[in-house]
Chains A and B, each alone.
Chain A
Amino acid sequence: MTSESNENWLYEISAKKSVFDLNLKEVWRYRDLLILFVKRDIVTVYKQTILGPLWYLIQPLFTSVIFTLVFNNLGSISTGGIPPFLFNLAGITAWNYFKECLTGTSNTFTKNQNIFGKVYFPRVIMPMSVTISNLVKFGIQLLIFIAFYCYFVLSGFDLQPNIFLCLFPIYVLMMALLGLGLGMIVSSLTTKYRDLNVLVGFAVSLLMYVSAVPYPLSEARKKLPGYVADFVAYNPLTQIIEGFRYMLLDTGSFSWIGFVYTLAVSIGLFLLGLIIFNRTEKSFIDTV
């Protein structure tokens, strides 16, 4: 029996786990499951609806119309020569992706407790699949944006994207990391105490207003008190929304410092989320 004590075990199941043991190798082994979950999420939304994926388009369009009426017509916020409808649509499209990632992942544990309670797979597959399937939704909403973009160009507006459009994938990645990171933190913290769930619901809609979605940052600087404007400016989401509109509509501002700052915050939050999530996944089923 002495020879057995120093044998190589494949893995151990125990209570303790190091903070940085993220088990990425195992996630890779389950990549097929990730793909199937994404497919499931996309396919099942369309089932038994007449309009199907068209529903994805209706929400941003209506929101843009309302924003244009309220903020630009009533509130007379200047969008710097850009058609206000297109300006709002760009902001809302980007914001929606972040919002869907956050709300979709923030209830990972509570929503999936049935399946998590019966079988093991790396839990992080779930929030990752939500983020990826939302990417498809984002793609569809981007198409409608492009359609309106072409419409406005044809009606004589002088619109053109600039060279920073190359950074587009990185911006999408930053949104995904921010949404996923925050979502994982929230979902981990709500396994035992549900208080945060209540907060997330309305905090997300409030967050939109301090992320420069319905107005340009320059207007905030002009009209808001200094400290509020600073808060808006340092909000990484503002940087993303502004950058997004800058590359597509060539309006607003862009700074490399802001870009690097946002990227750093996104990656930081994502890693923090991943660590907390991994610590929680081991025994959340006892407290959920």
Chain B
Amino acid sequence: MTILKAENISKQYRLGTIGTGTLSHDLNRFWHRVRGKEDPYLKVGAVNDRSSKSTTDYVWALRDINFEVKKGEVLGIIGKNGAGKSTLLKILSRVTSPTTGVIKTKGRIASLLEVGTGFHPELTGRENIYLNGAILGMTRSEITVKLDEIIDFSGCEMYIDTPVKRYSSGMRVRLAFAVAAHLEPDILVVDEVLAVGDAEFQKKAIGKMQDISKGEGRTVLFVSHNMAAVKSLCSRGILLNNGVIDKTGNVIEIIEAYINANHKTESNSLKKHISNAERTGNKQVEIDFVQFVGEREGLAPTTGKPLTINFHLKNPNNVLAENIQLDFRIDDSMGNRLLWLSTSVFEIEKKAFSNIISFKFEKLPLNQGSYIVTTHVVVGTQVADWAKNAFRFNVEEGFYYDSFKQVVTNQTKVLTDFNVQYL
């Protein structure tokens, strides 16, 4: 059964500031309305692409969004920053209204765009539970029934009769999330609220979200950048891009599409030239340029995705392949040596070649971040082209492990496949 249906939702915003200039537009709009005509400014409006320069004063934050949610379904909404996720959530939670279109629903919607909305620092934890709960749409008696459970979940029992201003920020968040987790609406709209609190609490929060969606069969709309959370919670997904729906469907496909869309950006910068600053050698064979090819042509290097690095050589004397040794080292931006790759670890039997040496990773084992490459070409026994800190390249955030779990970059820059067994 369809519990919520969005039909042609669009939202237009005005760019720039509000001042005397906006008054003329308002008057014009009013004059059109008096005559029963359509709002003249709805016809203009740029696509919501943050980085491009706009030609009009209006922008469509969302354009013609259509989707349906079935009862008991957990829908993930993902997209880049500024793709329109939060605008969509604001409209769903009735904080603002759509410019055109309509959302029809068969259940009460409670929204969690922020935890602890309306917390008053002077009130005690207990008083704030009541206040916050009522703001989120619970009645007093509902809260009273759940009060013990909420306090227990928050783990702040000792401080419950102390004003919230004395709480640590983590405790405040715990208390706020505890209230929110005990909401019982037909449809729950959740923005990135899981990214708060310590690791223990995050685990608890995700577990609670899972209970809500799976165990209790509640309909949930969930927005997050945490792909592991999206994957474990949601069954279906919507990918937003520049205010329009890019793709809907199975959540795994959506996450894949999101990661790919995220890295289409920099095609020019995938071609690297060697810096001459620390470059020596007899130039018998020289590196002309280096071309990076991600999962496909034009895609940037991404953690866990295939990556090919093609070294294009200048080889005026047609030195044979078997006589050329090429190595390169990848350092992190602090200069720590991470990887060393070389033709010398293989037996080369080829004689002539087209002056391209290609290195291929099936799964790039580098975490997201910036890396520096040192290249070294040897012909026979002589150094032909040695460039220290030859060029930099960036690795985009991706998923090395199939579980979509991220490894934080301050734990490691290098990733590897392994197995774990509980014996």
CB of B117 within 8 A of CB of A193, answer no
Assess A9 versus B104: contact at CB under 8 Å? Given A30-B134, A47-B122, A115-B118.
yes
Assess A9 versus B134: contact at CB under 8 Å? Given A15-B99, A15-B100.
no
Return the contact of B98 from the options A10, A11, A14 (Cβ within 8 A). Answer: A14
Assess A40 versus B105: contact at CB under 8 Å? Given A120-B93, A286-B96.
no
Residue of B nearest to A43 (CB): B123
- Is B140 interfacial (CB 8 A cutoff)? yes
Q: How many chain-A residues does the 8 Å CB contact rule pick out?
A: 37
Assess A40 versus B131: contact at CB under 8 Å? Given A4-B2, A14-B98.
yes
Q: Which residues of A contact B114 (CB under 8 A)?
A: 118-119
CB of A119 within 8 A of CB of B104, answer no
Q: Which residues of B contact A30 (CB under 8 A)?
A: 134, 137
CA separation between A181 and B123, bound complex, in Å?
30
CB of B102 within 8 A of CB of A282, answer no
CA separation between A35 and B139, bound complex, in Å?
11
CB distance from A47 to the nearest CB of B (A): 5
- Is B103 interfacial (CB 8 A cutoff)? yes
CB distance from B11 to the nearest CB of A (A): 9
Give the residue among B22, B23, B91, B118 with the most A Cβ atoms within 10 A.
B118
- Is A32 interfacial (CB 8 A cutoff)? yes
CA separation between A44 and B106, bound complex, in Å?
38
Q: Which of B81-97 contact A (CB under 8 A)?
A: 90-97
Assess A10 versus B122: contact at CB under 8 Å? Given A32-B139, A36-B131, A119-B95.
no
Return the contact of A13 from the options B18, B94, B118 (Cβ within 8 A). Answer: B94
CB of B98 within 8 A of CB of A15, answer yes
Residue of B nearest to A282 (CB): B97
Return the contact of B102 from the options A7, A13, A40, A117 (Cβ within 8 A). Answer: A13
CB of B100 within 8 A of CB of A13, answer no
CB distance from A184 to the nearest CB of B (A): 19
CA separation between A8 and B1, bound complex, in Å?
12
Cβ-Cβ contact count across A and B, 8 Å cutoff? 104
CB of B105 within 8 A of CB of A13, answer yes
CA separation between A216 and B118, bound complex, in Å?
44
- Is B111 interfacial (CB 8 A cutoff)? yes
CB distance from A203 to the nearest CB of B (A): 22
- Is A158 interfacial (CB 8 A cutoff)? no
CA separation between A282 and B91, bound complex, in Å?
10
Assess A283 versus B96: contact at CB under 8 Å? Given A36-B134, A119-B135, A120-B111.
yes
Q: Which residues of A contact B13 (CB under 8 A)?
A: 286
Q: Which residues of A contact B131 (CB under 8 A)?
A: 36-37, 40
CB of A120 within 8 A of CB of B97, answer no
Q: Which of A90-135 contact B (CB under 8 A)?
A: 114-121
Q: Which of A230-288 contact B (CB under 8 A)?
A: 282-283, 285-287
- 21 pairs, CB–CB < 8 Å, chain A vs chain B: A12-B105, A13-B92, A13-B94, A13-B97, A13-B98, A14-B101, A14-B102, A15-B98, A17-B97, A30-B137, A36-B130, A36-B131, A43-B122, A115-B117, A115-B135, A118-B117, A119-B114, A120-B93, A192-B26, A193-B23, A282-B96
Q: Which residues of B contact A117 (CB under 8 A)?
A: 90, 95
- Is B113 interfacial (CB 8 A cutoff)? yes
CB distance from A43 to the nearest CB of B (A): 7
Q: Which residues of B contact A159 (CB under 8 A)?
A: none
- Is B312 interfacial (CB 8 A cutoff)? no
CB of A119 within 8 A of CB of B93, answer yes
Q: Which residues of B contact A36 (CB under 8 A)?
A: 130-131, 134, 140
Assess A44 versus B120: contact at CB under 8 Å? Given A10-B108, A32-B134, A192-B18.
yes
Q: Which residues of B contact A8 (CB under 8 A)?
A: 106
- Is B136 interfacial (CB 8 A cutoff)? yes
- Is B40 interfacial (CB 8 A cutoff)? no
CB of B96 within 8 A of CB of A285, answer yes
CA separation between A4 and B118, bound complex, in Å?
38
CA separation between A287 and B117, bound complex, in Å?
21
Task: Bits for B379-412, please: 1 = Cβ < 8 Å to A, else 0.
Answer: 0000000000000000000000000000000000
CA separation between A193 and B120, bound complex, in Å?
29
- Is A33 interfacial (CB 8 A cutoff)? yes
Task: Bits for B185-214, please: 1 = Cβ < 8 Å to A, else 0.
Answer: 000000000000000000000000000000
Beyond A33-B135, A36-B134, A40-B120: 16 further Cβ-contacts under 8 Å? A7-B106, A8-B106, A9-B106, A11-B105, A13-B105, A35-B140, A43-B122, A44-B123, A48-B122, A115-B118, A117-B90, A118-B113, A119-B111, A119-B118, A120-B94, A121-B135
CB of B18 within 8 A of CB of A32, answer no
- Is B170 interfacial (CB 8 A cutoff)? no
CA separation between A282 and B93, bound complex, in Å?
11
Q: Which residues of A contact B135 (CB under 8 A)?
A: 33, 115, 119, 121
